[in-house]
A and B are shown apart, each in its own frame.
Chain A
Amino acid sequence: MFKKVLVANRGEIAVRIIRACRELGIQTVGIFSEADRNALHVRYADESYLLGPAPSRESYLRADKILDIAARSGVDAIHPGYGFLAEREDFSAQCADRGFVFIGPKPTSIAAMGDKAEARATVIKAGVPVVPGTEDVGNLTDDDLLSVAPKIGFPLLIKATAGGGGKGMREIKSLDEMPTLLASARREAESAFGDGNVYLEKLVEGARHIEFQVMADSFGNVIHLGERECSIQRRHQKLLEESPSVFMDEELRKKMGDVAVKAAQAVDYLNAGTIEFLVDKERNFYFLEMNTRLQVEHPVTEMVTGVDIVAEQIRIARGRQLSYTQDQIEFKGHAIECRINAEDPFNGFVPSTGRITHSLLPTGPGIRVDSGVYPGFEVTPYYDPMIAKLIVWGETRAQAILRMRRALEEYRIVGVRTNIPFHQTLMDSHRFMGGQFDTRFVEERFSLDDAMESRESHSEIAAILATLAAHQLSERSAHIVRRNERDASNWKWVGRWERMHR
């Protein structure tokens, strides 16, 4: 058994991993940047060490410093969480070199799946269907890409070879706009990953983004924990995930699950991973990429399968067998996760920073909140805007939606603006309720403003609230102006004055 684990991450996911460790009786070591001294994960961990200044490259991306802390604190293993160093094969390799177990896949699997071009080639060999695109990918020049683009056909996507999370991704409608967008994609990829390499992929229209959670142990057992529907996205960032997908039936789940397992086996996978697919209207599915780490949205799978994915990750890393066989995985009910981001949905989703002055979390039946913040915590511009995840479970999708509506209305965060009103509007959208959406839904067919118009209006109540608040404010300022006036009569005041000087 591990005695001590270092959690090489921050925010809600660091808290999530610390929780799993604590339940298993494992000591935890947290790391933090100067901006995160008061973060929740720092307070929850058994030990916490400062890494360096706020920017990630000087703190959470400093593998050397993290490994030194690991050595100094005597940990057995390192959990990378998601983002930061989670998908860096060199970090996974360095962990092994220094004698720490990396709670995740082997460096070779991360490398094979991390390079999107190599990943495509590998899974094609294993018989996994992929989206048509540039096959022979290395360092393609702009001229190469411009000449091959018409052969793939428009619309298409430019994607970063080292990419993920929509960074360095651009949609191209015609050859004319391609040079400009190619340059901006390369620039963003260069700044995000230090690698400006890009490739092209045909844009599957009307596609859903459905992913499969896989788990693999060192005995060669590979299972899947079913799918997650992740089509609700904005600028290629997922906003809401659910499991199961309304689009799925038993037959398709079995087919895609088998392919997901096959894709994982193709890179000799170990530990938890996710195979992302695009699924078109005709139920054709294409391998998109594999995320060789724990996903943000893992809780929805935990809610419907009852499997504690992080605990299972630790078990696999210890060299034990998976606790489940494929037959033992059953799906019960429906789970939805809303990502709560510090963004202003009424102002183009611009990031919102500041000190959280008040926070009231939803509770009650079927609710789970994985949060990294609390009142008094400062949300800084250095890291991801996601501050919490609200997850609900219901016996049916309808019950889960009703429960999510209830929970969103209960959730109060003051100090930063959040996208909670966006989620509330989405929960009321008929198309969402009917499961009629693809990955373009939020950007093309869902307008917060229009939805606001059609929502039940309480303008009279709003008017009363604003008026009373304005009234209170003007009363208070009037009070301040009159502050110097004596509140008692002059005679009383003189009396007090004299008593004081007696």
Chain B
Amino acid sequence: MKYITTCDNQEFEIEVVDEHHIRMVDKLQQVDFESVSGQPVYSLILDGKSYEAYVYQGEENWLVLLRGRLYSLSVVDEREKRLRAAGGGRVAESGEFLMKAPMPGLVVAVPVLEGEMVEKGQVLVILESMKMQNELKAPRSGKVERVRVKPGESVEQKQTLLTLH
């Protein structure tokens, strides 16, 4: 299987030949790739050179934390790439913005009202987590459409707090 992997605007064509070989730029390399005790930590021995890294699947990308540096990569196989090229661009973003809790916590205050017009950078929700108060600000100006939480309420990570139109 051939993959096109992009990292920092650099494209790599990597062919996974079999369990122990990959081909990059026509060069066959020996790989030994193992997860460390079933964890998202991987040990890679590439032609004798040993590396260890965290490899996570993010929402859109792959994240690799290697020697203190975080890399965000997109990995597509050839077939996918052709499909994407044929399908054209992505769906345009709708005008609605869902403010989600970036972390689990306790809602301290919601200093805005439904129907209120807000400016970019205005504080919409104050969320307390791990003893710190975090001000969640409007990413752009707009109208507060729906407030779904009240002060004193506990929220989960990624729970929608309010919507902005």
Contact B36 A464 (CB under 8 A): no
Contacts of A425 in B (CB 8 A): 68
Question: Closest Cβ of chain B: how far from A385's Cβ, in Å?
Answer: 4
Given A461-B51, A465-B44, A465-B53, A353 contacting B103 (CB threshold 8 A): yes
Q: How far is it, in angstroms, between the C-alpha of A235 and the C-alpha of B64 when the chains are bound?
A: 28
Contacts of A409 in B (CB 8 A): 67-68
Chain B window 62-76, contacts with chain A (Cβ cutoff 8 Å), 1 for yes, 0 for no: 101111111101010
Contact B69 A421 (CB under 8 A): yes
Chain B window 32-55, contacts with chain A (Cβ cutoff 8 Å), 1 for yes, 0 for no: 010011011110101000010111
- Complex partner residue of A192 from B36, B75, B131, CB under 8 angstroms: B131
Task: Answer whether residue A254 sits at the interface, using C-beta atoms and an 8 A cutoff.
Answer: no
Question: Closest Cβ of chain A: how far from B109's Cβ, in Å?
Answer: 7
Chain B residue at smallest Cβ distance from A452: B69
Chain B residue at smallest Cβ distance from A425: B68
Q: How far is it, in angstroms, between the C-alpha of A122 and the C-alpha of B32 when the chains are bound?
A: 66
Task: Answer whether residue A179 sits at the interface, using C-beta atoms and an 8 A cutoff.
Answer: no
Contacts of B71 in A (CB 8 A): 458-459, 462, 466
- Complex partner residue of B42 from A353, A382, A459, A469, CB under 8 angstroms: A469
Contact B55 A383 (CB under 8 A): no
Q: How far is it, in angstroms, between the C-alpha of A470 and the C-alpha of B105 when the chains are bound?
A: 33
Given A346-B70, A461-B66, A467-B5, A351 contacting B103 (CB threshold 8 A): yes
Contacts of A452 in B (CB 8 A): 69-70
Task: Answer whether residue A460 sits at the interface, using C-beta atoms and an 8 A cutoff.
Answer: yes
Question: Closest Cβ of chain A: how far from B108's Cβ, in Å?
Answer: 6
Chain B residue at smallest Cβ distance from A424: B68
- Complex partner residue of A467 from B75, B102, B132, CB under 8 angstroms: B75
Question: Closest Cβ of chain A: how far from B124's Cβ, in Å?
Answer: 14
Task: Answer whether residue B138 sits at the interface, using C-beta atoms and an 8 A cutoff.
Answer: no
Chain A window 461-502, contacts with chain B (Cβ cutoff 8 Å), 1 for yes, 0 for no: 111111111111110000000000000000000000000000
Contact B3 A470 (CB under 8 A): yes
Contact A464 B62 (CB under 8 A): no
Q: Is the interface of B mostly helix, strand, loop or mixed?
A: strand
Contact A469 B65 (CB under 8 A): no
- Complex partner residue of A353 from B5, B64, B104, B134, CB under 8 angstroms: B104
Contacts of A283 in B (CB 8 A): none
Contacts of B141 in A (CB 8 A): none
- Complex partner residue of B10 from A459, A466, A470, CB under 8 angstroms: A459
Chain A residue at smallest Cβ distance from B6: A463
Contact B68 A421 (CB under 8 A): yes
Q: How many chain A residues touch B (Cβ–Cβ < 8 Å)?
A: 52
Task: Answer whether residue B16 sits at the interface, using C-beta atoms and an 8 A cutoff.
Answer: yes
A438-452: which have CB < 8 Å to B? 452
Task: Answer whether residue A358 sits at the interface, using C-beta atoms and an 8 A cutoff.
Answer: yes
Task: Answer whether residue B98 sits at the interface, using C-beta atoms and an 8 A cutoff.
Answer: no
Q: How far is it, in angstroms, between the C-alpha of A460 and the C-alpha of B70 when the chains are bound?
A: 13
Q: How far is it, in angstroms, between the C-alpha of A235 and the C-alpha of B132 when the chains are bound?
A: 10
Contacts of B103 in A (CB 8 A): 350-353, 381
Contact B53 A187 (CB under 8 A): no
Task: Answer whether residue A384 sits at the interface, using C-beta atoms and an 8 A cutoff.
Answer: yes
Task: Answer whether residue B26 sits at the interface, using C-beta atoms and an 8 A cutoff.
Answer: no
Chain A residue at smallest Cβ distance from B73: A466
Contact B70 A385 (CB under 8 A): no
Contacts of A384 in B (CB 8 A): 130-131
Contact B8 A457 (CB under 8 A): yes
Question: Closest Cβ of chain A: how far from B67's Cβ, in Å?
Answer: 6
Contacts of B91 in A (CB 8 A): none
Contact B14 A462 (CB under 8 A): no
Q: How far is it, in angstroms, between the C-alpha of A466 and the C-alpha of B7 when the chains are bound?
A: 10
Q: How far is it, in angstroms, between the C-alpha of A465 and the C-alpha of B24 when the chains are bound?
A: 13
Task: Answer whether residue A325 sits at the interface, using C-beta atoms and an 8 A cutoff.
Answer: no
Question: Closest Cβ of chain B: how far from A458's Cβ, in Å?
Answer: 6
Q: How far is it, in angstroms, between the C-alpha of A324 and the C-alpha of B22 when the chains are bound?
A: 64
Chain A interface residues (CB < 8 Å from chain B): 165, 167, 187-188, 191-192, 235, 342, 346-348, 350-353, 357-358, 381-385, 408-409, 412, 414, 420-421, 424-425, 428, 452, 455-474
**Contacts beyond the supplied A235-B132, A381-B105, A463-B12: 13 A-B pairs with Cβ under 8 Å:** A347-B102, A350-B134, A352-B103, A358-B41, A412-B41, A463-B7, A463-B14, A464-B22, A465-B51, A466-B62, A467-B75, A468-B33, A474-B1
Could you jot down 20 A-B contacts, CB within 8 Å?
A351-B129, A353-B104, A357-B39, A381-B129, A414-B40, A421-B70, A452-B69, A452-B70, A455-B69, A460-B24, A461-B51, A461-B66, A463-B5, A463-B12, A464-B22, A465-B44, A465-B64, A465-B66, A469-B42, A471-B3
Chain B interface residues (CB < 8 Å from chain A): 1, 3, 5, 7-8, 10, 12, 14, 16, 22, 24, 31, 33, 36-37, 39-42, 44, 46, 51, 53-55, 57, 62, 64-71, 73, 75, 77, 102-105, 108-109, 128-134, 157
